[in-house]
Structure 1
Amino acid sequence: GGGQLFVLQSKHTLAVQASPNRNRQTRSRGVEAPRPRAAALQPRLVMIVIRTALVMAAAAAAAASDPAADADDVAPLTLLPKTTLGKCLDGTPSGFYLSPSVTAAARTKWILNLEGGGECASKDRCLSQLNGPLGSSKYFSKTWRMNQFLISRDSKTNPATWDWNMVHLPYCTQDLWMGTRATPSNQSYGLSFAGHYVLDAVVTELLNLPNGLGQATEVILTGESAGGIGVTPNVDWLHDQLGSQVKVTGAPIAGLYFYADPYTGPGHTSSDLADFREAAWPSHAQLWQPFVDQSCLSAHDYVAWPCMLANYSTRFISSQLFFTQSKSDQVVLTAHDWVPGDLKPWADVEQYIQVWQRNMTSALNGLSNQAARRGFFGVDCFIHTTFSPQAPLLPFHGKNVSFAAAFDAWYTDNEFVYLQDYGGVFSNPTCPK
């Protein structure tokens, strides 16, 4: 009704399909745009080893400076060397926050969290990020509390990873953690887009630590929103860096995206964040020069941009993946898909969201048919990353569980976890208010 125009995106959501088994030892590395890979993996310098060896001791000092937090919750900021390729938009070196494991059993277990924070694809929006932590490390917090999602020290609400080595990577590149444009140019508005290089540089630092990432037996790469998007193209690359003997897992939160097919009915808006319609992605790829999976790239005739979104790339990923996702994602619907924030007129908006939900249902169901191990937790709530121990919940084995409990069952207990709502728009009774 109301003359709205929307299309069921079957050609996109049904693109998720089973892939042949692939030997992890022969898995192709990702591909990055036009700079030799060797330059990203520079020889590790002795001075870097000395500098990063101080990181563990700094954690205790950071905790002492924050009396409101438990000591194990607080991690200090470590900035990357000034010579790094892992730069923020403004060219300042990015960094990370490391909280060492708190039990002997978890000393070789690591979880890396990619922070979210949108993206920029226009000059005005990118320049507007330079005066804050989303564009410059000059504004990074000196400490970070490990108290959310899968980087939480609460053993009751985060049973899978509460005692692990935790690394939080702040987001200052606005390229969905894929960029390899380290050298600014007129074409990049004088800015760097080097999200993949930030991850690369942080991994190098952690490998150089005594008893660091080089001793890992299990590693989880997680992230939220833009960070969740960044998990999928980087997780197999991370596995390649660590070796086939390490168990590597991706756990994106609010990171399962497909091309936007916006609502154009009464009251529609426009894209507040970057344009995610299919036709816009080539220009995003040109600006950010994204790192993507090589096998996905080959399957798409060496066009990089289809491999930037998980709905089209997961079937090429060998690492196991667990998705936590809203089936009526508030940010995607209102900031990328033109749905008015007040959801009015409801009759028209509801019809569009119903179609959008069917697309997400297809995307989630498609994951269960892939060769590599998959799991998911999909809720019908008008949220983006508001996943907590209290809400939303889904029924599992006769009780309601949070996303973290579902992940624990999937990861620790090796259960099949394909959980999602089927009750309709905003139907989950435990949705956060």
Structure 2
Amino acid sequence: MTDFHLRGTGLEDHSLLNEDQVVTKKRHQLTGGTDRPSRRRRRICTSCRCWIVVALLSAMWLAFFGLWLYYSYFAIPSSGKPGAGEVGHNTEAMLVVLPESLADETGAYCLDGSPPSYYFRNASSQEHDTSWLVFLEGGGWCYNATHCAQKSDTSYGSSRMLNASKEFNGVLSANFTVNPDFYDWNVAVINYCDGASFSGNRDLPFEVGNKTIYFRGTRVLDAVITHLLSAGMAQADQILLSGASAGGLAVFLHADHVKELIPEEVSFKAMADAGFFLDEKNISNEDMWRNTMKGVYELQEVQGSLDEDCLLAKGTEKWECFFPEYAYPYINTPIFIINSAFDYWTQLHILNLNCRPGLCDEKAQAFFEDHRELFLRRTDQVNRYDKDGMFISSCYAHSHAYYDAPWMNYKVIGEETRQAFADWYFGRSTPARSRYVDCDSSLNCNPSCAETWGAEYFNSTVCLVLTTDECFNLLH
């Protein structure tokens, strides 16, 4: 054990609903005396009025407190929008930045040369003191040197711009109501800072103007995992590796590598959320996404971070191993895939469909629905492996596990996202019965996520990743 110890963060107590209910009973007994009956009746009447007032005030306070408690912890939002009506007050995780001396020793640098970092929250129960959830944060990619230099000035390229604490939702939530199966686990969220899904593996730094940029995502991942092991994770009996978006892609690419770093006897499984990005043409019949990711692959020298068997099998097309559909067959770790067949990030940035479904022209609408059919064909390979599961919805959403509402509310074949995943993870359902694929009709066929197709959802989610002009064009 190193000098660093996670139990010293002061976050040992994570009880969310630990209020004691105290009932005080008073007995008032009237005794005889020398007072005249009329005076006694007057005193009794005055006393009754006081107690009536006290009772009314107490009832009002209890009603107010009950409503506060309900809406703070139990009210489930009707909206499927991430960020709208999210449930509960999650206990904050604290930022841990690795020592600069360790970064210098291992060469593990963010884009700007700062040390790797992660957010950590201790397990809140003795039962799960040795259960760990390690989450790989997402945040897109940087596609060329100039873009990476710009990203180095943000929290997705540097550990110098992060808040001291942060709250997490969905599968990372510390609220039992939201996340009953994992709320009391140790949680470590590894901050994403290389712009290549933790796959950058370039030895020499890159000079962009007056900036020095590092492409060391693999070393960042290794350094944080090693640090967590020295700080208590080596005593784990089960570890779940998860991630969303670019972090979800990282799970496909690096789950087996992380498994090699942890003790052999530890139960290890993975879950990739919104990370199954296809190698497919856009609506103009161009290989835009393929060429974009090949650029990332070459710039950051990703090849050295990928599975050797996959690289050997692909021959001269080794870049294919940077795409989940080609990398998946070589993954030995049991993995559960969560994704939407109508992912809005894919629609906008891979298919290049700049319209809101329902307002698209006939060609664009048909192309988006054709994408769904292609997505189902590419993910069908999961059915050939007896260890894995999947949850493929028809919601217009990007990520189901990172936010409260889709984690709790979205359903496929009657099962919530969280329930379907937990049943697979804990063996309550066999992998063969853990392949959930949504309705086979067109857009908006799933009533549990119907609101994701409305303009309000666009305003609160999709427009957050677009410029004002782009959002206006989509909505009109």
Taking structure 2 as the reference length, the TM-score comes to 0.71
- What's the offset of the Cα at 1:94? 1.9
CA distance in 2, matches of 1:59, 1:203: 22
SS in 2 for 1:111: strand
Q: 1:288 pairs with 297, 300, 304, which one?
A: 300
1:403 counterpart = 2:423: no
Q: 2:377 pairs with 344, 362, 381, which one?
A: 362
Structure 1 equivalent of residue 216 of structure 2: 194
Structure 1 equivalent of residue 17 of structure 2: none
Structure 2 equivalent of residue 87 of structure 1: 109
1:348 counterpart = 2:299: no
1:60 counterpart = 2:11: yes
CA distance in 2, matches of 1:133, 1:423: 40
Give per-residue Cα distances to partners, 1:7-63, cap 9 Å, x unaligned.
xxxxxxxxxxxxxxxxxxxxxxxxxxxxxxxxxxxxxxx8xx11x22x332243999
- What's the offset of the Cα at 1:295? 1.6
Distance verdict in 2 for CA 1:224–1:395, change over 3 Å: closer
Worse overlay, 335-344 or 217-226: 335-344
- The answer (yes or no) to whether the contact 2:338–2:400 under 8 Å persists in 1 is no
Distance verdict in 2 for CA 1:285–1:406, change over 3 Å: same
CA distance in 2, matches of 1:196, 1:251: 19
1:426 counterpart = 2:439: no
1:276 counterpart = 2:227: no
The one-letter code matched in structure 2 to 1:154 is: N
Worse overlay, 377-386 or 88-97: 377-386
- The answer (yes or no) to whether the contact 2:138–2:246 under 8 Å persists in 1 is yes
- The answer (yes or no) to whether the contact 2:276–2:325 under 8 Å persists in 1 is yes
- The answer (yes or no) to whether the contact 2:391–2:412 under 8 Å persists in 1 is no
SS in 2 for 1:362: helix
1:245 counterpart = 2:265: yes
- What's the offset of the Cα at 1:155? 2.3
CA distance in 2, matches of 1:194, 1:276: 23
**Alignment size in residue pairs:** 365
- The answer (yes or no) to whether the contact 2:138–2:248 under 8 Å persists in 1 is yes
1:308 counterpart = 2:322: yes
CA distance in 2, matches of 1:364, 1:95: 33
- What's the offset of the Cα at 1:309? 1.6
The one-letter code matched in structure 2 to 1:118 is: G
Q: What is the 5 A alignment of 1:161-310? A: 161-181=182-202, 183-186=204-207, 190-209=212-231, 212-264=232-284, 275-277=288-290, 279-290=291-302, 291-301=305-315, 303-310=317-324
CA distance in 2, matches of 1:376, 1:202: 28
- What's the offset of the Cα at 1:395? 4.3
Structure 2 equivalent of residue 158 of structure 1: 179
Taking structure 1 as the reference length, the TM-score comes to 0.78
Distance verdict in 2 for CA 1:340–1:138, change over 3 Å: same
- What's the offset of the Cα at 1:182? 5.2
Question: Which of the pair is proportionally richer in helix?
Answer: 2
Structure 1 equivalent of residue 154 of structure 2: 132
Give per-residue Cα distances to partners, 1:183-221, cap 9 Å, x unaligned.
412499831122221111111111111xx1111121111
CA distance in 2, matches of 1:382, 1:164: 30
Q: Which runs of 5+ in 2 are unaligned?
A: 15-71, 74-87, 458-476
Q: 1:96 pairs with 100, 111, 118, which one?
A: 118
CA distance in 2, matches of 1:137, 1:411: 32
Distance verdict in 2 for CA 1:133–1:356, change over 3 Å: same
Distance verdict in 2 for CA 1:394–1:342, change over 3 Å: closer
Distance verdict in 2 for CA 1:60–1:153, change over 3 Å: closer
Q: Give the share of equivalent positions with the same residue, in percent.
A: 22
Structure 2 equivalent of residue 76 of structure 1: 94
CA distance in 1, matches of 2:371, 2:89: 43
CA distance in 2, matches of 1:363, 1:352: 16
Structure 2 equivalent of residue 42 of structure 1: none
Give per-residue Cα distances to partners, 1:226-268, cap 9 Å, x unaligned.
0001001111111111133221111011011221310128xxx
CA distance in 2, matches of 1:299, 1:89: 31
Give per-residue Cα distances to partners, 1:367-424, cap 9 Å, x unaligned.
11125x111111112211255554452244xxx3321111011112143211111222
- The answer (yes or no) to whether the contact 1:159–1:405 under 8 Å persists in 2 is no
- What's the offset of the Cα at 1:425? 2.5
- The answer (yes or no) to whether the contact 1:72–1:102 under 8 Å persists in 2 is no
- What's the offset of the Cα at 1:151? 1.1
Distance verdict in 2 for CA 1:302–1:167, change over 3 Å: farther
SS in 1 for 2:11: helix
- The answer (yes or no) to whether the contact 1:62–1:74 under 8 Å persists in 2 is no
Q: Which runs of 5+ in 1 are unaligned?
A: 1-45
- The answer (yes or no) to whether the contact 2:393–2:412 under 8 Å persists in 1 is no
- The answer (yes or no) to whether the contact 2:121–2:186 under 8 Å persists in 1 is yes
SS in 2 for 1:430: helix
How much is the aligned-residue C-alpha RMSD, in angstroms? Answer: 2.7
- The answer (yes or no) to whether the contact 1:159–1:408 under 8 Å persists in 2 is no
CA distance in 1, matches of 2:422, 2:332: 20
Give per-residue Cα distances to partners, 1:308-346, cap 9 Å, x unaligned.
121111111110010110101101110122111435543
